Amino acid sequence: MTDRRRFLRDLGLAASGAFLAGCNRISQSESGARVLESAEWLTQRVQRIVSPSTALAREFTEADISPVFRPNGTTMPQTALYQSLMKNQFRDYRLGVEGLVDRPGEFSIDQLRALGERTQITRHDCVEGWSAIGKWQGTPLGALLAHVGVKESARYVMFHCFDEWGEDTPYYESIDITEARHPQTLLAHSLNGAPLPVANGAPLRLRVERQLGYKHAKYLRSIEVVSSFEDIGDGKGGYWEDNGYEWYAGI
Ligand SMILES: Nc1nc2c(c(=O)[nH]1)N[C@H]1C(S)=C(S)[C@@H](COP(=O)(O)O)O[C@H]1N2
Ligand SMILES: [Mo]
- Please check whether residue 145 is in contact with residue 97, taking contact to mean a CB–CB distance below 8 angstroms: no
- Domain segments of the chain: what residues? 1-52, 57-242
97-116 pLDDT, tens digit per residue, is 999 999 999 999 999 999 99
Closest CA to ligand 1's atom 23: 214
Spatial distance between the Cα atoms of 113 and 2, rounded to a whole number of angstroms: 35
pLDDT at residue number 22:
29
124-182 pLDDT, tens digit per residue, is 999 999 999 999 999 999 999 999 999 999 999 999 999 999 999 999 999 999 999 99
Q: Which residues surround ligand 2, an ion (CB under 5 A)?
A: 126, 213-214
pLDDT at residue number 54:
81
23-82 pLDDT, tens digit per residue, is 232 333 334 444 445 566 667 767 766 666 789 999 999 999 999 999 999 999 999 999
pLDDT at residue number 33:
42
Angle at 159 between CA 60 and CA 200, to 5 degrees: 45
Spatial distance between the Cα atoms of 83 and 88, rounded to a whole number of angstroms: 9
Q: How far, in Å, is the centroid of ligand 2 from the Cα of 131?
A: 9
CB 209 less than 6 A from any atom of ligand 1: no
pLDDT at residue number 51:
64
CATH no., domain 57-242: 3.90.420.10
C-alpha distances in Å from residue 24, one per residue of 10, 20, 27, 37 = 13, 6, 5, 5
Q: How far, in Å, is the centroid of ligand 1 from the Cα of 219?
A: 9
In 3D space, the residue among 249, 223, 217, 234 whose CA is nearest the CA of residue 77 turns out to be 217
In 3D space, the residue among 143, 145, 228 whose CA is nearest the CA of residue 183 turns out to be 143
Reported as half-sphere exposure (CB side, CA atoms, 13 A), residue 66 has a value of 15
Mutating to test ligand 1, I would choose from 164, 216, 242 the residue with most ligand atoms within 8 A of its C-beta, which is 216
Closest CA to ligand 1's atom 2: 218
Q: How far, in Å, is the centroid of ligand 2 from the Cα of 213?
A: 4
Q: Which residues contact 5 (CB under 8 A, 6 or more apart)?
A: none
C-alpha distances in Å from residue 25, one per residue of 18, 28, 33, 44, 165 = 11, 5, 11, 19, 34
Q: How far, in Å, is the centroid of ligand 2 from the Cα of 48?
A: 23
